[in-house]
Amino acid sequence: MTSIVNGSSTIPLIAGSEELLKDALNFYINVLGLVEHSRDGNTVYLCNDGVETVIELTLDKARGFSKHDIGKRKEEILSKLGIVDWRSLDSSYVLKADNLVDTIDNLKFYGYTLQITPNELYPNEAYCVDPLGYIIGFTACDEPLTLAPPVQKANATFGSSKMDSTLMSTTATLSNKNYVDSESLAEKLRPRRNIAVMTSGGDAPGMNAAVRAVVRAAIFRGCKAFAIREGYEGLVRGGEKYITEMKWQDVRGFLSEGGTNIGTARCMEFKERSGRLKGCLNMVKAGIDGLIVCGGDGSLTGADLFRKEWPLLIAELKEQKQISHEQYERHKNLYICGMVGSIDNDMATTDSTIGCYSALDRICRAVDYIDATANSHSRAFVVEVMGRHCGWLALMAGIATSADYILIPEKPASSQDWQDQMTKIVKNHRSKGKRKTIVIVAEGAITIDLKPISAEDVKNVLVERLGCDTRITTLGHVQRGGTAVAFDRTIATLQGVEAVKAVLELTPDTPSPLIAIDENKIRRKPLVEAVEITKSVAAAIGEKDFEKAMSLRDSEFKEHMRNFIAMNSACHDEPTLPVEKRKKIAIINIGAPAGGMNSATYAMATYCMSRGHTPYAIHNGFAGLARHESVKSINWIDIEGWNSVGGSDIGTNRQLPSDSDIGMIALYFEKYQFDGLVIVGGFEAFISLDQLEKARSMYPAFRIPMVLIPATISNNVPGTEYSLGADTCLNSLMDYCDIIKQSASATRGRAFVIEVQGGNSGYIATFAGMIAGAQVSYVPEEGIHLEQLEMDISSLREGFAVEKSLTKTGKLIIKSSNASAVLTPDVLADIINTESKGEFDTKTAIPGHVQQGGLPSPIDRTRADRFAIRAVQFIEEHADLMEPARYELDFPSDEPKYSNTASVLCVRSSHLKFTSIRRLYDFETELTKRMPKKVFWNEIRTTADDLVGRTRLQTSDKSY
């Protein structure tokens, strides 16, 4: 085994007993050939020959499966062999095998049952159940979104001479190319499906990006792509006007446009069986056998019902002789996949829906503007936002803008209680010196008696009880409008690609999947289950079972709710901790400024106040501490409004503790008796945490829990896939690129080379290229090969030639500043101009430090709040652990229970976890490059290139 394919750095596995742990070690070491790297308490780390940690085995009797449960689980999984794709049963991990055929033979020798795709003759992936009950996969490919050419078994015999000749001709074609072929052999041999995409229900920003991704991913995989216009209405009406075959160029410019260009409409006729029968006939006539629906729970419910009825519908059409026997045989199965497009973010089993963060961005911008006028006149504003059955928008907007009060349907109170509570909070905030009041009301806000609470009701309470000069702002459909933010473009694109892959892999017996996202990982979930849970929330609210309604929301929703209540009560409620449990906790910013740093300070301080801790701010980094003793306790009114302020108001710089006199820093830590430290920053902050942890043996003052919250636009902190500031940066770049592309399109025949920041990390260039639809992106991990440059210029010439008579023809080339020291933007532009032979011209554009500035995005604000509160909770959990050894002369710094108290808060795939700085620094860091050893965005680069039709060189030397 060489690496993990699914984007994680390690696979975390849990054993429920020592016997099961031994069985697992035997499987991964003796059967798969991994080696034991180290042990940390109850955790064993296994690695490959390259000393890359691959498996993390933890003995946890409370959380692991019992032997009996594993037996039942295996029996259930194995019973579905050949019937259901195992990956649809549960989440799975995939390892890259050096030789997949040998791995398969080895597993069979030890008696493991395997599910092999696409078939045993040409295996591309193989799955088995390990001794702990986990589904583990093995593949021959480097990327999870692309299939590698399958390995032919040595003793295989072909079924026919025709297959022989097809295989040999295809293989010969592949071997004669000097670049990576856009389709693997497995894809060429897979039956093609004609795939249609539809947007239904309310429109949402990002739907166009999803349509673009589906169309181009389908064409890229050799399928025909169709758009069903006007939602289910178009499906029922049929004909070329409503069911249109889409070509590659038809979706140009879709990324930067709001709404949905293929239209959406409600359709009562489709709710009747007769309407669905018409839809079935129209799809058969068009030759469609795969349907991807982007919409809300109602649209997805209709899609799943359509699939269930399909066998009967198409049989009826055949019986009535409306379709031929050949058409019946070709289309007797329908394959459905769902993507959630909804600004309310009301779908269960997914962290976010396409469009929700764009709507939240509109709300936050509006409240930021309102905030200024409210402060000027000392007014109160009641802002009504959308959310009929879900209060996500109101909750997240309340957190992101530090609203005084929110009203959401999931947490109602009696008519008297909410009025008393709101009055008390607003009165306390005003008495502490706050000049403005913001109350956010979801349109579905209700009392416990299901009586609606309107914005007018809230205004009347503020006026009559507090005498506030109050105004109402109803945002309405402004929340749906405008282009999608960077995050929505990203998830819409990745989900569209995954939806096409899912449709191609579905079998008649596989349940319809929903493409969801957990933390940072695109996943497939059962569509029916997600819809049922979503609908049960509204039903629970209707039955006044509000506790059940809240329990059905995902864990992140409930966590955000608790966080808002805690931060909002900081200045007026009694602290929740007893006096003896209260701590002194400091926060410091290190490195370049990044969006969300002030939000983290605000959340850390207000949460500390609500708990009874004393929050301190160390101003101007370690240099400020060592030179000027720049430590100040944080007062509530001083940080009021910081949640929506960019930059770093406590100051930041790049100096490390070793540069600033680490002994003096320890002296001040001792003087103020800090019990915990929160560091917010990028790679310099990462190195700083390492230095403080190593200095514990010499300086007892550092024997306290310390947490790093990654914050850098480069997103290059080892161990995490997300850093604060990255989303704000991408939004700034997205707006910049959209404007530049518009200029290029207006001029006709023009390309722009745009240089972006990121140091040695290609994260920003990669994601900016994908969300802007750039033709090319160059990153430090790959450099700029002259052959690749030549191919890219040739591709640009071809693109301009094809689009000569079309609109929106501007092209972008994204270059990371460290991709090449020689090929600067000006040099690249000159080379391209010379080689373009006058067919187009090239200019340069440098956004510079605009990428670090601006107001933080709602994602960076809300994640900063969540991360900062998690950091304080980590300190609370570990502060007492450090106390006994704080002043020991021989401090056991190597003991895991102590070294783990200096950790980085990491987002890894679908998990949010703390990882010790020792493990990350020693095993996962490339110090000379200021980078993690393994980056997680390789598959994103492949996807972005595929969707613009870029041809890539095949190189054996990959530094990433």
C-alpha dist (Å) from residue 223 to 206, 231, 283, 407, 568: 23, 21, 15, 48, 53
Residue 278 marked in a binding site: no
Residue 572 marked in a binding site: no
Residue 163 marked in a binding site: no
User: What CA–CA distance (Å, rounded) separates 865 from 559?
Assistant: 11
The b-or-e profile of 654-691 (16+ CB within 10 A means b, else e) is bbbbebbebeebbbbbeebebbbbbbbbbbbbbbbbbb
24: left (phi over 0), alpha (psi -120 to 50) or beta: alpha
SS3 for 893? coil
Residue 787 marked in a binding site: no
Residue 866 marked in a binding site: no
Residue 26 marked in a binding site: no
Residue 193 marked in a binding site: no
Residue 849 marked in a binding site: yes
In 3-state terms, the chain is what percent helix, strand and coil (to 5)? 45, 20, 35
Q: Is 384 exposed, middle or buried (0-12, 13-18, 19+ CB in 10 A)?
A: buried
User: Which is the catalytic residue, given 304, 344, 457, 554?
Assistant: 344
SS3 for 33? coil
Residue 425 marked in a binding site: no
Backbone torsions φ then ψ of 768, nearest 5 degrees: -65, -40
Instruction: Give the residue carrying structure tokens 């670049």.
Output: 179
Residue 308 marked in a binding site: no
β-pair type (35-40, 43-47): antiparallel
Cβ atoms of 203 and 264 within 8 Å: the answer is yes
Residue 192 marked in a binding site: no
Residue 952 marked in a binding site: no
Residue 735 marked in a binding site: no
User: What CA–CA distance (Å, rounded) separates 301 from 336?
Assistant: 11
User: What CA–CA distance (Å, rounded) separates 691 from 697?
Assistant: 11
49 is catalytic: no
Residue 758 marked in a binding site: yes
Helix (H) or strand (E) holding 943: helix 938-948
Residue 471 marked in a binding site: yes
Residue 930 marked in a binding site: yes
Residue 843 marked in a binding site: yes
User: What CA–CA distance (Å, rounded) separates 597 from 648?
Assistant: 6
- Neighbouring-strand partners of residue 932: 925
Residue 715 marked in a binding site: yes
Backbone torsions φ then ψ of 569, nearest 5 degrees: -100, 10
β-pair type (631-633, 614-618): antiparallel
Residue 387 marked in a binding site: yes
Residue 562 marked in a binding site: no
Residue 444 marked in a binding site: no
Residue 850 marked in a binding site: yes
Residue 941 marked in a binding site: no
Residue 784 marked in a binding site: no
Cβ atoms of 34 and 48 within 8 Å: the answer is yes
C-alpha dist (Å) from residue 497 to 338, 434, 485: 12, 48, 19
DSSP state letters, 868-897: HHHHHHHHHHHHHHHGGGTT-SS--TTSHH
The tokens for 384 are 């009504």
How many CB atoms are closer than 10 A to CB 518?
A: 18
User: What CA–CA distance (Å, rounded) separates 333 from 353?
Assistant: 28
Residue 872 marked in a binding site: no
**CA triplet 579, 582, 588: central angle to 5 degrees?**
155
- Neighbouring-strand partners of residue 959: none
Strand ranges (E), 307-360: 335-340
Residue 388 marked in a binding site: yes
Residue 296 marked in a binding site: yes
Residue 697 marked in a binding site: no
Residue 253 marked in a binding site: no
**CA triplet 390, 395, 400: central angle to 5 degrees?**
145
CA-based nearest residue to 677, from 919, 906, 872, 917: 872
Residue 750 marked in a binding site: yes
How many CB atoms are closer than 10 A to CB 165?
A: 11
Amino acid at residue number 164: D
User: What CA–CA distance (Å, rounded) separates 261 from 208?
Assistant: 6
Residue 826 marked in a binding site: no
Residue 645 marked in a binding site: no
Binding residue numbers for beta-D-fructose 2,6-bisphosphate = 654, 712-716, 750, 757-759, 843, 849-852, 930
Binding residue numbers for Mg(2+) = 297
Binding residue numbers for ATP = 202, 266-267, 296-299
Binding residue numbers for substrate = 342-344, 379, 386-388, 443, 471, 477-480
Binding residue numbers = 202, 266-267, 296-299, 342-344, 379, 386-388, 443, 471, 477-480, 654, 712-716, 750, 757-759, 843, 849-852, 930
Instruction: Give the residue numbers marked as catalytic.
Output: 344
